[in-house]
Structure 1
Amino acid sequence: MKWFRLLAALVVLVPAIAAQAADWPDKPVRMVVPFGAGATADIMARIVADKLAAAIGQPVVVENRTGAGGNVGAALVARSDPDGYTLLLSGSPTHSVGPHLFKKLNYEPMKDVPPVAMIAAGTNLLVVKPSLPVKSVKDLVALARSKSEQLTYSSAGIGTSGHLAAELLQKASGVVMRHVPFRSGAEAVTAVMSGEVDFMFFTLPALMQQVEAGKLRAIAVTSLTRSRLLPNIPTVAEEGYPGFEALAWYAVFAPRGTPAAITARVGGEIKKILAMPDIEEKMLKLGVEPDYMNAEELTRYIEADSKKWGELIKQAGIAAN
C-alpha cells in the first residue's frame, strides 16, 4: 500500500512540476547576491539580470544578502522554494572555500544550491610596494627566504581569494610570509601603498588605478594564461610554479529541486548573454572574462576547486573567525 500511495503521489506531482516549468516565468525572478552592493559579484549580477530579464520577459531583481563570507545569502537560497523564482549569483566563497573555512554550515552548498551555469572568472594580481626591491615572483620568493618570515602581505580577510593565493604561493615555494588581514580590501590596498605591508594578491579592478599611477608595482597574475587586460604581466606559473592558479569565479545556482527545464532555460539564456559583444566589454572592465560552463561542467570544476582549496586550508590551519 505504501508503494501504491507513493506512485499515486508521483502521478499527481510530475504533471504539476511539468506545468510549473512550462509556465515559467509568470512573475519576477529574484537573483540573490551574498555580497555587498558595488562588489564585483553585485555589478555582474546586475549586468546579467538586465539581459536575462529581456530574454525571459520578466524582471530579474538583484537582492543583496550579506554576511558570513557569503553563507547568509547562500543559505537563504537553499531554503527558498525550488520554483525557479530564486537564483543565487556567487562563486568560490560559498561553494569551494566556505565549506572548508567554517566549522558548521546550516546548508550543504553543492547539494542544496547546485550549479546552473558558470558566468565568468577573473585573475588576481600580485602587487608589491614600490620600495620593495623585487620585480618578479622569483625576486619576491628569494627576498622572503632571506628575511625568514619577516615579509608581510595584506588581504581583505581570512579565507579571501587574496589570502589563499598567498598561502598557495607559500606552499609552492616553501617560504613562510606573515599574513596581515584587514577588514576591507580598500584598507588592505592602502597598507601596501603606504609601505606598512610588503605585498598582496587582489582583484584587478581594485588595483589597476594604483598600478598605473605607480603607487603599486604589478609583478604577476594568478591565472594559468596571461590576462587580456595585462598582457605584459607574466603568470605566477611562468615564474617557476607550473599549475599555479588562483581565480575568482562567478556562477549562477538554484535551490535543490528546481525543475530541470527551468535551470536548462536559465543556463541556455546565460550562454547566449555571454556571447553578446557588449557583455564581454562590460565584464572586461570589471576585470573578469566571460567563461561559460554548463551545470555538469561547472559541477566538475567546483569539485576540483573545492578539493584544492580544502587541502590548502587544512594544511595551513586556516579557519574563519
Structure 2
Amino acid sequence: MSHPTRRALLAAPALLPGLAAAQGYPSRSITWIVPFAAGGITDTSARTLAQRMGQSLGQSVVVENRPGAGGTIGAEAVARAAPDGYTLLYGSQGPMASAPAMFPNLRYHPQRDLAPVHGLGASPHLIICAPQRPWRSLADLVAAARERPEGLTYASVGVGTSPHLAAETLLQATGTRMVHAPYANGTQGLNDVIGGRLDVMWDYPLTSLPHVREGRLRALGITDRQRVRLAPEVPTVAEAGFPGAELVPWAGLFVPARTPGGVVARLSAAMREAMGDPKVQEFFDGTATVLWPEMGPEQLRAFLAEEMPRIAGLIARAGAKPG
C-alpha cells in the first residue's frame, strides 16, 4: 500500500462528520442575514440570489435585515450563530475588511469567526458632479483639487464605507485632498451634489445613472479597470489618466466558522447555480455588478487575505476614524 493511500485512509474518519452533516442538509429553511437596511442594493441582491438558491437547495432561503454599525451588528450575529449552515451572512467590504481596521475592539474577526462560501461580485462607483460645475473630466477635477487644497467637498455614506475609500484611493493616488462630508444615507448626499451644495460624490451606478441620463449629474469616471455596460461612455480612472485609483466594492457569502465542509460545498454549489440563471444575470447586469461564479470557498479566502491588509493600509493613510 502506498503512503498516499495510507494517508487518505487515515484522513477519511475526519471527513465523515462533515459528509454526514451535508447528507441531510438542508432539512429546514435557511436565514440569510443582510447587515444593512431593506431596499438597498445589498438587500435586493441577496433576495434575488436567495430565491434562486432556495430552488437548488429544496428549502427556502429567507433574507433577514439586521442593519447598524456599518454592517458589524449583522456580521457579529452570524459569527456567533451555530455552525450548521442555517445562518448565512452577506459579507461585504465594510464589515469584512474596513471594520477590523477601524474598530480595534470589534467582537468578531472575519478570518477567525467566519468561513467563506462563495464570492458574489463587485460593483464599481461612478464619480459624479453637478453639470453646473466646470469640470468636464476627471483630470479637470484633480487639477481643481490641486489648485484648491482642502477647498473641494465630496459626499459619502460614512467613514470607512466604500464610497469614502474609493474617494480616498483617488486622492492618495494623485496627492490631493478634499473635504469629506459623510452622510447618514446616500440619498441625502446625492441631493446635495445635485443641488450644488457639495462638489462631487462616489456613488453606485444603480442610483446615480438615472440622474446622469436626465442631465442632473455629470459622470467623470468609473472606479473599475473596465467600463461598465450600463454606461460604456464613462471612462475608467486609468483611462482618465490615474491608474491605481481603482476601488470596487465587493460582496460574498459567509457562514460561521467550523461549519462542516460538506455543508459549505452544498451552499457554494447553490450560489454558483444561481449565478448561472439568466434572470439572475439580467438583474445584476442592471446594477452594473460583475458576478464571480468561479470564486469558491478557497478563492474567496485568498481574496479576503489580500483585501484586508490593502483596505487597512488605505484607512491608515487616510487617518479614517469612526464618527
TM-score w.r.t. structure 2 length? 0.93
Distance 1:113 1:193 in 2: 40
Q: How many residues align?
A: 312
1:288 corresponds to which residue?
Answer: 289
1:82 corresponds to which residue?
Answer: 83
2:251 corresponds to which residue?
Answer: 250
Q: Deviations over 1:262-307 (max 9, x none)?
A: 1111111211211221111011222312122111111222222222
Residues 224, 243 of structure 1: 8 Å contact kept: no
Residues 28, 59 of structure 2: 8 Å contact kept: yes
1:190 corresponds to which residue?
Answer: 191
Q: 1:303 aligns with which of 298, 302, 305?
A: 305
Residues 228, 288 of structure 2: 8 Å contact kept: no
Distance 2:183 2:87 in 1: 33
Distance 2:161 2:130 in 1: 20
2:7 corresponds to which residue?
Answer: none
> Where do 1:198-217 residues align within 5 Å?
198-217=199-218
1:61 corresponds to which residue?
Answer: 62
3-state SS of 1:247 partner: coil
2:8 corresponds to which residue?
Answer: none
1:29 corresponds to which residue?
Answer: 30
Shift of 1:49: 0.7
1:178 corresponds to which residue?
Answer: 179
1:231 corresponds to which residue?
Answer: 232
Distance 1:317 1:138 in 2: 25
1:118 aligns with 2:119: yes
1:276 corresponds to which residue?
Answer: 277
Distance 2:182 2:144 in 1: 21
3-state SS of 2:250 partner: strand
Distance 1:15 1:183 in 2: 48
Distance 1:81 1:32 in 2: 14
Q: Pick which of 178-187 and 289-298 moved more.
A: 289-298
Residues 96, 303 of structure 1: 8 Å contact kept: no
Unaligned 5+ runs, structure 2: 1-11
Residues 161, 202 of structure 1: 8 Å contact kept: no
Distance 2:60 2:195 in 1: 45
1:320 aligns with 2:306: no
Distance 1:113 1:15 in 2: 22
Distance 1:184 1:101 in 2: 20
Distance 2:267 2:13 in 1: 26
2:50 corresponds to which residue?
Answer: 49
3-state SS of 1:254 partner: strand
1:136 corresponds to which residue?
Answer: 137
Distance 1:286 1:221 in 2: 14
Residues 115, 259 of structure 2: 8 Å contact kept: no
Residues 169, 314 of structure 2: 8 Å contact kept: yes
Q: Which amino acid aligns with 1:49?
A: A
Residues 31, 89 of structure 1: 8 Å contact kept: yes
Q: Which amino acid aligns with 1:182?
A: Y
Residues 280, 289 of structure 1: 8 Å contact kept: no
Residues 41, 90 of structure 1: 8 Å contact kept: no
1:20 corresponds to which residue?
Answer: 21
Q: Pick which of 189-198 and 99-108 moved more.
A: 99-108
Residues 75, 95 of structure 2: 8 Å contact kept: yes
Shift of 1:245: 1.6
CA 1:154–1:57 in structure 2 vs 1: closer, same or farther (change >3 Å)? same
Shift of 1:204: 0.8
> Where do 1:145-156 residues align within 5 Å?
145-156=146-157
Q: Deviations over 1:71-99 (max 9, x none)?
A: 10010001111011111112101111111
Distance 1:176 1:28 in 2: 49
Q: Which amino acid aligns with 2:319?
A: G
TM-score w.r.t. structure 1 length? 0.93
1:106 corresponds to which residue?
Answer: 107
Q: Deviations over 1:17-70 (max 9, x none)?
A: 432221101111111110110111111111111111111111111111111100
CA 1:235–1:14 in structure 2 vs 1: closer, same or farther (change >3 Å)? closer
3-state SS of 1:250 partner: strand
1:259 aligns with 2:257: no
Shift of 1:16: 4.8
Distance 1:120 1:14 in 2: 30
Q: Pick which of 115-124 and 282-291 moved more.
A: 282-291
Q: Which amino acid aligns with 1:110?
A: Q
Residues 115, 258 of structure 2: 8 Å contact kept: no
Distance 1:243 1:261 in 2: 39
